[in-house]
Amino acid sequence: MFTKILIANRGEIACRVIKTARRMGIKTVAVYSDADRDALHVEMADEAVHIGPPAAAQSYLVIEKIIEACKATGAQAVHPGYGFLSEREAFAQALKDNGIVFIGPNPGAIAAMGDKIESKKAAAAANVSTVPGHLGIIESPEHAVTIADAIGYPVMIKASAGGGGKGMRIAHSAGEVAEGFARAKSEAASSFGDDRVFVEKFIVDPRHIEIQVLGDKHGNVIYLGERECSIQRRNQKVVEEAPSPLLDEATRRKMGEQAVALAKAVNYDSAGTVEFVAGQDKSFYFLEMNTRLQVEHPVTEMITGIDLVEQMIRVAYGEKLGLTQDEVKLNGWAVESRVYAEDPTRGFLPSTGRLVTYRPPVEGPDGDAMVRNDTGVFEGGEISIYYDPMIAKLVTHAPTRLAAIEAQARALDAFAIEGIRHNIPFVSALMHHPRWIAGNLSTGFIAEEFPEGFALPVPVGEVALRMAAIAIACDHKLNQRKRHVSAQMEGWRKVAFERTRIVVLGAERFEGEVTEQGETVVIGFGPRSLSVVSDWRPGEPVWRGTLDGVAVAAQVRAILNGFSLGHAGAYANAHVHTPREAQLAALMPEKVAADTGKFLLCPMPGVVKAISVSVGQEVKAGEALCMVEAMKMENVLLAEKDATISKILAKEGDSLAVDAVIMEFK
């Protein structure tokens, strides 16, 4: 077996590979840019090599620097992770030419499958169901429109070398094709150094289902079941699960056998994923093949018990697969939430900054479920503008789909992050969404269920009652602490803390009576009472305890006269008062937010790529005003209503903070 491997990647996937290599007794080498000098993967690896400036094009994407690092450290093999150079045929070939093993498929398989256009041709030759489309290179917007008109709308414009949602646009008209073509080519060139795009039919109300395949260098290929990845926004997966609630055993076998046939046709010899777009009637069409480890691979690992990274390493070394297709068994259900540094209340735009608080849930058993958290960050670390905004991948595994979802919801309640915006409120709300729980999914789920965008859900009913009880329990704990403050003035009688608490929770109001019964705090809400047990201490970002014997977690942050709480997908400020304080608080005037309607504010930290208007210009609603690039995504900002530009306060190339004023209107 290899004694030392290099990981040509960063973040959580680099940490993930290091964990398996360490378990196998293999030493690891990390590479890092200036921006990642203090990153977690650098600390975890046995050795680390600096490879350049923050921009990926000058560091992680430079093949020569990776090879130099291998030679300098004596690394015998390279694991590419996902993204960056993982699907670059030239990288695999360069390693081979230098006597270094690529922990991935052979260059020929990458050439055939890594290119989205060539992979569709190979799939058609292998009798795999394919989506109608134009597989040739498209040279101009006009050519793209002609092709789209012939195929029929809607169509998908997609980068040939793409992945991760970059260089992809859905178009419903000729005008959208022309605009989408330009954006897809630009993003593809920026992200992959390859601006080729193609057009194919977009299946209405589709589901995204993929088959995990695993091959060795001796001609053996097996499939490890499927993953459902239909919960997406901007073509970027957000939540994945395995298996799919859509498929039956016959359809699973049919998809798996087609995936294996395609892999064998190109002599595939590593872990890879064959992606399909599926109709609600279980019809399916080949989408593309990813010749690398997928972001969502943990859900497959959880239901099969197979470590895919270990298998990739063993196969790369030349070992035969240790199991046959008949020995692959699917056990239970796994759900994964991608935790991103983004603001779901602002259209999921990226967020950057320092992780002031980063407290993930405890990994390991949770009743019948299992919790796993793959991450590449740490408390005090920084989310950079240069790379993908992923913070962690939270995975739960349980005997049934509903149990896995419930475990995921509990784990998200116990996941505390502060200092940046993040999408935990969204994925937490999703775990309680009736349509998600029912398994009625499509890639349009987010757009259909949140047409006006995502707003933080407010607590109602039982959830609101639990949050009120948690707020009172936290306030009571603070009062207990006050009683034990040293050097208090001796009085002729002890101060009696009031037992009645009024909780103002959004628009709701709760009155609770507090009684202590040993370690238990009983809170009476009229005819209803809740027994609360917790060892929470003031300042901890997560409250854990039981309410009437049921385990509950909530995110807790102190605010003036109360707490900001997050629980069961709902978020609210809970103000806790004595009855007299509540009377006075009701008389306080509310602060009204300033009117920002006459300003265009930067919705996320980013760089101004283009200003499309000038001072004095009249613009119509929907007209492009400027373009801001953040985390490799180009975002065109549009006018919300008819207006005249009075001032432009930013210029091309400026780096802007969130809510920075770009221009003013009159």
Mean pLDDT by 10 residues, the chain (666 residues): 98 98 98 96 98 95 98 98 95 98 96 80 89 80 92 88 79 92 88 86 89 98 98 91 97 97 96 94 91 97 98 98 96 98 87 93 96 97 89 98 98 96 96 97 94 92 96 93 77 71 92 94 95 96 96 95 95 95 89 81 89 94 90 82 94 90 93
| Cα gap 275→290, rounded to integer Å | 8
- CATH 3.30.700.30 domain extents, the chain: 461-482+497-585
The whole-number pLDDT of residue 19 equals: 98
The whole-number pLDDT of residue 327 equals: 97
Select 208-449's CATH number: 2.60.40.3880, 3.30.470.20, 3.50.50.60, 1.10.1380.10: 3.30.470.20
- CATH 2.40.50.100 domain extents, the chain: 599-665
- Nearest in space to 662 (alpha carbons), one of 652, 643, 645, 648: 648
- CATH 3.40.50.20 domain extents, the chain: 4-103
- Nearest in space to 177 (alpha carbons), one of 163, 158, 193: 158
Structure tokens at 578: 């004595």
The whole-number pLDDT of residue 190 equals: 82
What letter does residue 341 receive in the DSSP assignment?
Answer: S
Q: What angle do CA 299, 304, 310 make, to 5 degrees?
A: 85
Which CATH architecture group holds 461-482+497-585? 2-Layer Sandwich (3.30)
- CATH 3.30.1490.20 domain extents, the chain: 132-201
Would you identify the CATH topology of the domain 132-201?
A: Dna Ligase; domain 1 (3.30.1490)
Q: Using alpha carbons, list the distances in angstroms from residue 647 to 6, 441, 595, 661.
A: 51, 45, 17, 10
The whole-number pLDDT of residue 595 equals: 76
Contact between 32 and 60 under an 8 Å Cβ cutoff? The reply is no
Which CATH architecture group holds 4-103? 3-Layer(aba) Sandwich (3.40)
The whole-number pLDDT of residue 591 equals: 78
pTM to 2 decimal places: 0.84
Look up 363 and say whether it is catalytic.
no
Q: Using alpha carbons, list the distances in angstroms from residue 69 to 103, 305, 460, 650.
A: 16, 33, 56, 41
The whole-number pLDDT of residue 110 equals: 93
| Cα gap 458→599, rounded to integer Å | 29
Structure tokens at 614: 């000038």
**What CATH class is the domain 599-665?**
mainly beta
Catalytic entry in 288, 296, 301, 342: 288
Structure tokens at 49: 């090599």
With residue 550 as reference, give the H or E element that holds it.
strand 550-559
| Cα gap 131→284, rounded to integer Å | 9
| Cα gap 271→90, rounded to integer Å | 19
